[in-house]
């Protein structure tokens, strides 16, 4: 079993994905950024829409950030989009020519070791292994690795194993083959070992302990938070506020007004809403409860119809605006906004503001 066996399997069995149509560095880069922590099935329509609007790095670099964030809306981890936009500006200023090595690519914002190696090997033929979660799993099983593949010693062994499977003539395809193998055959649960081109060299399979590898990582316990979300309407328009550009999460995106609710009365929440957003707030009855997870946070959102004084003036920091449903679809928002609006039901449009 060798790099040749892996490539032969890839040539026969790889999925037909839009970013594999050519080795254009811009397209490879966009796909790799989108695929970080996001499923392939989710990425495909976003990728196609993004490329239709921004067909090259120059178009992306010239675009307003708001438009980029809007097209990214729903993919989550918005920092990726902001860094993508910043990197596009840098490349466009360089005449549109991408750096050609992994080391040079890492100088661009948002490009770490994985993305740099992927773009360099697929688009420019650099012989360098790509290590993502799928590759970690394949190699941990091949080696029956008795240590965490994400820590220094284990990572070195995984990189060495991946390097052994690189074909110097087709390094990009070799890397994609390993990632494809992990995504479609050497899966976390119920791997199809009978279809694996590397089964003959898999030490975990020989031990009949495939699903024991890689060793489970220690998970950070979920932070459970309870929040009150204020749903304020004027006719058919909803009041949204924009997160500051320096927010730790979801910077620059639009959201419904909210405050933390644990241990606080509705009156407390009204005061906090006034302090955060200005205006005089009156929380009405709870109309929905929504569960939402983001990174390690597990949110319980209590959605209240709310009213504010007509003299609302936006406090220093956030921006505010009234938006109809079709306008919200074009804004950079998190999926949380759509969840809340969907859960509140069609009757929310009947509420009028004071």
The predicted pLDDT at position 214 comes to 93
The predicted pLDDT at position 226 comes to 93
Taking only the tens place, the pLDDT of each residue in 80-108 is: 999 999 999 999 998 999 999 999 999 99
- Alpha-carbon distance of 159 to 151, in angstroms, equals 12
The predicted pLDDT at position 317 comes to 46
- Residue 271: both structure tokens together: 């005061």
Which of 32, 126, 180, 270 is the catalytic position? 32
The predicted pLDDT at position 153 comes to 93
What is the reported pTM? 0.72
Yes or no: say if 336 and 294 are a contact pair by the CB < 8 Å rule: yes
**Domains along the chain with CATH numbers:** 3-212 (1.10.340.30), 223-350 (3.90.79.10)
The predicted pLDDT at position 349 comes to 39
- Alpha-carbon distance of 11 to 5, in angstroms, equals 10
Residues of the chain predicted below pLDDT 70: 1, 245-248, 310-318, 345-354
Taking only the tens place, the pLDDT of each residue in 197-216 is: 999 999 999 999 999 999 88
Could you tell me the CA-to-CA distances from 231 to 181, 243, 255, 289 in Å, in that order?
46, 17, 11, 12
Which of helix, strand or coil describes residue 264? coil
Yes or no: say if 302 and 289 are a contact pair by the CB < 8 Å rule: yes
Asked about 211 being catalytic, the answer comes back as no
């Amino acid at each position: 079993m060798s790099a040749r066996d892996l490539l032969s399997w890839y040539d026969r069995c790889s999925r037909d994905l839009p970013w594999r149509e050519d080795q254009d560095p811009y397209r490879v880069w966009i796909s790799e950024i989108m695929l970080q922590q996001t499923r392939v099935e989710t990425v495909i329509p976003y990728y196609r829409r993004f490329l239709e609007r921004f067909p090259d790095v120059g178009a992306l670099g010239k675009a307003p950030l708001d438009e980029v964030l809007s097209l990214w809306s729903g993919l989550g981890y918005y920092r990726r989009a902001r860094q993508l936009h910043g990197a596009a500006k840098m490349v466009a200023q360089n005449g549109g020519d991408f750096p050609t090595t992994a080391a040079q690519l890492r100088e661009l914002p948002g490009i770490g070791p994985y993305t740099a190696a992927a773009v360099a090997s697929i688009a420019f033929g650099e012989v360098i292994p790509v290590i993502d979660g799928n590759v970690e799993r394949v190699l941990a099983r091949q080696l029956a690795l008795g240590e965490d593949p994400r820590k220094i010693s284990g990572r070195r062994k995984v990189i060495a194993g991946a390097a052994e499977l690189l074909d110097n003539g087709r390094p990009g395809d070799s890397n994609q083959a390993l990632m494809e193998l992990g995504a479609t055959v050497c899966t976390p649960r119920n791997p199809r070992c009978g279809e694996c081109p590397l089964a003959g060299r898999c030490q975990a399979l020989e031990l009949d302990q495939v699903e024991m590898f890689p060793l489970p990582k220690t998970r950070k316990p979920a932070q459970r938070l309870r929040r009150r979300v204020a749903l304020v309407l004027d006719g058919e328009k909803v009041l949204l506020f924009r997160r500051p550009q320096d927010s730790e999460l979801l910077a620059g995106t639009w959201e419904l007004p909210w405050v933390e609710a644990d241990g606080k009365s509705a009156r407390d929440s009204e005061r906090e809403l006034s302090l955060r957003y200005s205006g005089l707030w009156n929380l009405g009855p709870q109309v929905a409860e929504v569960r939402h997870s983001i990174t390690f946070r597990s949110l319980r959102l209590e959605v209240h119809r709310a009213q504010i004084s007509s003299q609302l003036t936006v406090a220093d920091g956030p921006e505010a605006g009234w938006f109809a449903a079709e306008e919200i679809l074009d804004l950079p928002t998190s999926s949380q906004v759509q969840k809340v609006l969907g859960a509140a039901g069609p009757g929310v449009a009947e509420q009028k503001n004071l």
